[in-house]
Structure 1
Amino acid sequence: MARSPALTGILFAIGGTLIFSVNDVSIKFLSGGYALHQVILIRALVAMTFILVVIGQSPRGFGHLATSRPGAHLARVCIVMVSNLTYFTGLAALPLADAVAVAYVSPIVITLLSIIFLGEKVGPRRWAAVIMGMLGVIVMLRPGAGVIQPAALLVLISAVLYASGNLLARHMGDTESAMTLSFYVQAGFIIVSLSMGLWVGDGHLATDDKLGAFLFRPWIWPPLADWPVFLATGLSVGIGGMMVTQAYRTTEAGLIAPFEYVGMPLAIFWGLMVFGTFPDAVSWVGIALICGSGLYVIWRETVRRREGDAA
């Protein structure tokens, strides 16, 4: 039996989020010794290598690079770049739990923007699933009272831009493949990061505070032990980013958005494996809400398709 387009999009979203989670862990690991723009440049070069290999092996080959919508690509590249900059800048100044809690507003934003700009219909039951997942995030992360501060606003801006970039991918999906969309994003990262390196890569703008060092510390040649981490972040962005892009360009944004909540249980997993932290009982309640919301949306989509096939 052929797999439904909706289920395929959901699987791409889940798989892409699983793979993409490696990016945050890798950048957090590297942020103590490297400038952000150096990390982003190496990450983009690794991701671009993977994308070019995939494009070269595809039936259309490098024909994927041809586009009739350069303006839309430029807009999406700018959105994604600013989203990354604001997220990692805010993350440097916020506790991880607060930053992630704010960032996971994006699925709610995606649902709202998909109604306003794409005309997608989101029923009350799917709304309930999204809200339940958001409640799970709040319960699991329990953001502190000081969350509304400038750094948190940067993360909130990142969440809105992230949602906007995914909706733009949905809008462009009728003419642009996931490979095309991913190629131009990574090309933008390479150009901007390389330009930043040529301008401030000598460290002349670096300051003693944590944020100033992260943004402007001088570039260094990575030791051999750090290259696997750079490789991991580049491949996670190349593979995971392409999968999530494919999900949003082929499937309703309001359906895909709740499945990005699988990133929250992944945060628990990486916390245990890398940092030795383990969730308490309250956190497990949040995980149950998040997973329950995703499973409910899958069940509702299955029922809806069966009813449609029977009609």
Structure 2
Amino acid sequence: MTTQPQNRANIGILFILIGIFCISINDMLIKQLSGGYPLHEIVFVRSAIGVLITLFIVQLEGGWGILRTSTPWLHAVRGLLIVISNMSYFVALAALPLADATALFFAAPLFITLLSIPVLGEKVGPLRIGAVIAGFVGVVIMQRPWADAGELDVSRLVLLLPVLSALTYALNQLMTRKLGVTSKASALSVYIQVMFILVSLAFFAIAGDGRFAEGSTNASVLFLLRAWIWPASGDIWAFVGLGLNSAAVGYCLSQAYRMADAATVAPFEYVGLPLAVLWGWAVFSELPVLEVWIGITLILSSGLFVFLREQKKARMVARAKVKLR
């Protein structure tokens, strides 16, 4: 078995694009359901369906044996990181417009590109570092730090939740790159789905009757702690869609970061920004404010520059190899 990470950039990019599209659908459905169901119920149903589909993929990728691992605690930490990332983001999503929450979360690819240097030893040149800094400027603009609390529709804490989500997501994906050397994408996805199920069941045991949400009018608190209820007939297909998306997201993102350098794959996650704007406008009649538009422009521009720089670097390396033959 190989002990070196793979580097198949084109395949990694394809998987990240599919995964990000599925994430945009996932976010839209969860925001739709956030007004009537608790987050831990949605997570449980989504992951229960997702893990069944992923276990089928496990059979295609090698059978039950690929679920064995010599580093169970590292997989547990990785699973916990993605649970924190998802739940903090979704709690914010209940109170924020879809495009705003997504834009704040998009500190994640910037974190990934920067952290890939000390954590994975990947090389990121000064021009790409400059592009990443420009992206961070965009993220700061979208957070509107100059605004008074009274000018914001939500608390500063809610605005910080997507940033926490971004950081834990970045750490999770860097661990995926490390653990993906010896683990299949389907196995990595199963470990995460199981962690989601365990955490959601713990929430149900502690707060499933809704007692901690009584008297609260905060949308995020209600989404996190309201009582479980049986889904309405019209919402069942939304839950099924979440389950299918969960399986697709877990597999595609794990595969993307197994197959290519983190610094190469991460910028393509920016595709989620225009998708979030699209779903926010089409489904929730929301459009970003001016600051968010400026930030999105900076983020997309920096991501495109990083991609073009990576492509130029790859061509130069290929030409150098040809000359050496």
Conserved in 1, the CA contact under 8 Å of 2:108 and 2:170?
A: yes
Given candidates 273, 298, 303, the residue that maps to 2:307 is 298
Tell me the distance in 1 between the aligned counterparts of 2:200 and 2:156. 27
Q: What are the Cα deviations for residues 252-271 of structure 1, in whole angstroms up to 9, with x where unaligned?
A: 21222211111100111101
Match in the other structure for 1:12: 15
TM-score (norm 1): 0.88
Aligned length: 306
Tell me the distance in 1 between the aligned counterparts of 2:221 and 2:76. 28
- Does residue 189 of structure 1 match 2:196? yes
- Does residue 150 of structure 1 match 2:157? yes
Match in the other structure for 2:224: 215
Conserved in 2, the CA contact under 8 Å of 1:44 and 1:234?
A: yes
Tell me the distance in 1 between the aligned counterparts of 2:32 and 2:125. 41
Range that drifts further, 125-134 or 198-207? 125-134
Taking only the aligned residue pairs, the percentage that are identical comes to 43
- For the residue of structure 2 that corresponds to 1:306, the secondary structure is helix
Give how far 1:282 is off.
7.5
Tell me the distance in 1 between the aligned counterparts of 2:289 and 2:158. 27
Tell me the distance in 2 between the aligned counterparts of 1:12 and 1:119. 23
Tell me the distance in 1 between the aligned counterparts of 2:94 and 2:227. 17
Give how far 1:142 is off.
6.5
In the superposition, relative to structure 1, how do residues 11 and 129 fare at CA in structure 2: closer, same or farther (>3 Å)? farther
In the superposition, relative to structure 1, how do residues 95 and 63 fare at CA in structure 2: closer, same or farther (>3 Å)? same
Conserved in 2, the CA contact under 8 Å of 1:129 and 1:258?
A: no
Q: What are the Cα deviations for residues 10-69 of structure 1, in whole angstroms up to 9, with x where unaligned?
A: 2221221111111111111111101111010001012112211212233x1222211111
- Structure 2: where are the runs of 5+ without partners? 1-6, 321-325
Tell me the distance in 1 between the aligned counterparts of 2:304 and 2:52. 35
In the superposition, relative to structure 1, how do residues 279 and 203 fare at CA in structure 2: closer, same or farther (>3 Å)? closer
Tell me the distance in 1 between the aligned counterparts of 2:203 and 2:292. 40
Conserved in 2, the CA contact under 8 Å of 1:268 and 1:278?
A: yes
In the superposition, relative to structure 1, how do residues 113 and 295 fare at CA in structure 2: closer, same or farther (>3 Å)? closer
- For the residue of structure 2 that corresponds to 1:32, the secondary structure is coil
Give how far 1:211 is off.
3.3
Match in the other structure for 2:272: 263
- For the residue of structure 1 that corresponds to 2:80, the secondary structure is helix
Match in the other structure for 2:76: 74
In the superposition, relative to structure 1, how do residues 143 and 14 fare at CA in structure 2: closer, same or farther (>3 Å)? farther
Match in the other structure for 1:235: 244
Given candidates 195, 208, 214, the residue that maps to 1:201 is 208
In the superposition, relative to structure 1, how do residues 275 and 153 fare at CA in structure 2: closer, same or farther (>3 Å)? closer
Conserved in 2, the CA contact under 8 Å of 1:41 and 1:189?
A: yes
TM-score (norm 2): 0.84
- For the residue of structure 2 that corresponds to 1:14, the secondary structure is helix
Conserved in 2, the CA contact under 8 Å of 1:10 and 1:259?
A: yes
Whichever residue aligns with residue 129 of structure 2, its letter is: W
- Structure 1: where are the runs of 5+ without partners? none
Whichever residue aligns with residue 175 of structure 1, its letter is: T
Range that drifts further, 211-220 or 66-75? 211-220
